[in-house]
């Protein structure tokens, strides 16, 4: 069955093109409660990009086991990081979008910046609906994932394509696939680390922990693993570190399948047992602090390292809304919007009805 098209606003001939940036992050529950987490996990883990298991088998496992057990555990974890403003990931993504908007405005460019979540609210579809209703004709989609993966970046694109199935008149889209090696991104990461070291001194080892994915994705051609290592190499070079002074690990393993190695927490435990007294850890693949950085790393991983004999553990925060990173987002966006109009829209379109359009065409 073909999807039914949504009702379209009247087409306006001569309408001035309008440009927008849609910053897309992974998502978050609406609240640190069991029902909210269950809804979020059902959407997140129900995405075939995230879990590549035959759908009928996986749906039985997801709804029969996981969604009965995991929401309560996850809600308790979310409660430890929740702020008065809400979910840290949503708060930081919102602040990034606002800060990026301010840069465009300060440069006299009529570009509107919004943010959306792949899972949860505000959804990608709802933001695209709003942008289209406001007359935006060109939209740059910027995933909050520096390293490309089919499990994350491609899923954002899927959501945009799915929205397009319901629309007769589509905006012009452009997508940023990755920016794992972009100089502005590497510079922002390096500045984050240097700022931390200026206050706390340098550790014996810098651990760069990236979100894990099943090892199978690497063998199927996903470039994520390679892009993580390139980011790490470039960051190490920017900081002037030798290859023995930093290391790459992968966190957030889920299920029994083999994921990308080495795993973060076991690596930290091994470092402590080897006599490494101080470790600093940064998560370059996360541009906003979230459950995986604030709870899994700053709480659980730190406890594991210290319990194993380590003495000092520092978590270096994500880029969040740092000025260097916001400027980097601006440079990325400008590069990918090359040739798109950024002037203020006209107050009135040249033609606002079919009759006016026909009249205008006859005169021309």
Rounded CA-CA distance 127/131 in Å is 6
Candidate ranges 5-9, 298-302, 358-362; pick with highest mean pLDDT: 298-302
Q: What are phi and psi of 206, to 5 degrees?
A: -105, 120
Stretch 181-204: mean pLDDT, rounded? 98
Rounded CA-CA distance 80/71 in Å is 14
Annotated binding site for Fe(2+): 211, 292
pLDDT, tens digit, 9 for 90 and up, residues 225-246: 999 999 999 999 999 999 999 9
Its sign, for the CA torsion 102, 282, 215, 241, is positive
Q: Is the pLDDT of residue 172 over 60?
A: yes
Say which residues have a Cβ less than 8 Å from residue 15's Cβ, sequence separation at least 6: 135, 137, 345, 349, 350
Q: Is the pLDDT of residue 158 over 90?
A: yes
pLDDT, tens digit, 9 for 90 and up, residues 295-352: 999 999 999 999 999 999 999 999 999 999 999 999 999 999 999 988 765 534 433 3
Q: Is there a contact between 17 and 137 (Cβ–Cβ < 8 Å)?
A: yes
Q: Is 312 exposed, middle or buried, given 0-12, 13-18 or 19+ CB atoms closer than 10 A?
A: middle
- Bigger pLDDT: 359 vs 16: 16
Annotated binding site: 211, 292
Stretch 287-302: mean pLDDT, rounded? 98
Domains delineated in the chain: 19-179+323-336 (3.40.50.1400), 183-316 (3.40.50.1400)
* pLDDT bracket for residue 364 (50, 70, 90): very low
């Amino acid at each position: 069955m073909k999807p039914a098209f949504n009702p379209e606003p009247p087409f306006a001939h001569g309408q001035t093109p309008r440009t927008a940036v849609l910053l897309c992050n992974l998502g978050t529950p609406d609240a640190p409660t069991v029902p909210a987490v269950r809804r979020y996990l059902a959407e997140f883990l129900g995405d075939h990009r995230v879990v590549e298991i035959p759908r009928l088998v996986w749906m039985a496992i997801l709804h029969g086991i996981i969604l009965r057990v995991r929401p309560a555990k996850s809600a308790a974890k979310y409660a430890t990081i929740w702020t008065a403003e809400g979910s840290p990931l949503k708060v930081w993504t919102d602040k990034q979008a606002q800060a990026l908007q301010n840069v465009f405005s300060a440069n006299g460019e009529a570009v509107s910046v919004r943010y959306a979540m792949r899972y949860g609210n505000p959804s990608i579809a709802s933001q695209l609906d709003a942008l289209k209703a406001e007359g935006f004709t060109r939209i740059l989609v910027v995933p909050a994932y520096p390293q490309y993966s089919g499990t994350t970046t491609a899923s954002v694109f899927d959501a945009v394509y799915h929205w397009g199935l319901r629309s007769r008149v589509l905006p012009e889209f452009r997508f940023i696939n990755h920016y794992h090696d972009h100089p502005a991104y590497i510079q922002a990461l390096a500045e984050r680390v240097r700022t931390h070291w200026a206050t706390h001194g340098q550790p014996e080892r810098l651990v760069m922990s990236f979100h894990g994915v099943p090892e199978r994705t690497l063998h199927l051609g996903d470039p994520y693993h390679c892009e993580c290592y390139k980011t790490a190499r470039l960051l190490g070079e920017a900081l002037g570190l030798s290859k023995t002074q930093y290391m790459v690990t992968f966190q957030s393993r889920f299920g029994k399948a083999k994921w990308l190695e080495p795993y973060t927490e076991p690596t930290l435990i091994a470092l402590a047992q080897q006599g490494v007294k101080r470790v600093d850890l940064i998560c370059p693949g996360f541009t906003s602090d979230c459950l995986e950085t604030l709870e899994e790393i700053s709480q659980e991983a730190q406890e594991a390292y210290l319990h194993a004999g380590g003495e000092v553990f520092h978590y270096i925060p994500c880029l969040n809304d740092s000025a260097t990173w916001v400027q980097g987002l601006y440079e990325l966006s400008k590069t990918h919007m090359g040739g798109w109009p950024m002037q203020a829209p006209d107050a009135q379109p040249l033609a606002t009805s079919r009759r006016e359009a026909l009249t205008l065409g006859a005169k021309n």
